[in-house]
Amino acid sequence: IPLFPQNEQAIIQNCLANIDQILAEAEQIGAKVILTTVFPVGDVPLARRIVWSPAIAEAVETVNDQICSKASDTVFIFDSYVLLADAQNKLSPEFAHDELHLNAAGYAHLNTELTQLLLEIAGG
């Protein structure tokens, strides 16, 4: 989005259209789906701020709101954003490799929570 701000809405809409297509195809075969929200963005280092944009966090919020609206009897939302965010809604330093990527602790945390969701779905 920072490199192509004129394409911001197209990027978001393309992402959402892809999700809708996946859900439609899953529904056709009677599959259950787990959608995960987009991870929060961490603290952006000074060197990257020159090419960074607050529009990234806004786009993540927009996409996540739409993902959460897809919940149904066959679509389960795995809210990784909530699991990984700190009090400022940024990627928690304990889970961050850098501003966009998780470290081993972040993946372990998600794996624990995802396992719980899978057990709930399988039991339900």
Q: Can you spell out the DSSP letters for 4-70?
A: -GGGHHHHHHHHHHHHHHHHHHHHHTT--EEEEPPPPP-PPPHHHHTT--THHHHHHHHHHHHHHTT
CATH of the domain at 22: 3.40.50.1110
Closest by CA position to 66, among listed 37, 41, 97, 102: 37
Confidence (pLDDT) at 84: 98
pLDDT tens across the length of the chain (124 residues): 666 778 999 999 999 999 999 999 999 999 999 999 999 999 998 988 888 888 999 999 999 999 999 999 999 999 999 999 999 999 999 999 999 999 999 999 999 999 999 999 999 6
Distances in whole angstroms, Cα of residue 5 to Cα of each of 10, 19, 51, 116:
10, 22, 11, 38
Query: Residues near 13 by Cβ (< 8 Å), separated by ≥ 6?
Result: none
Amino acid at residue number 103: N
Domain of 82, in residue numbers: 5-123
Confidence (pLDDT) at 3: 67
pTM for the structure as a whole? 0.90
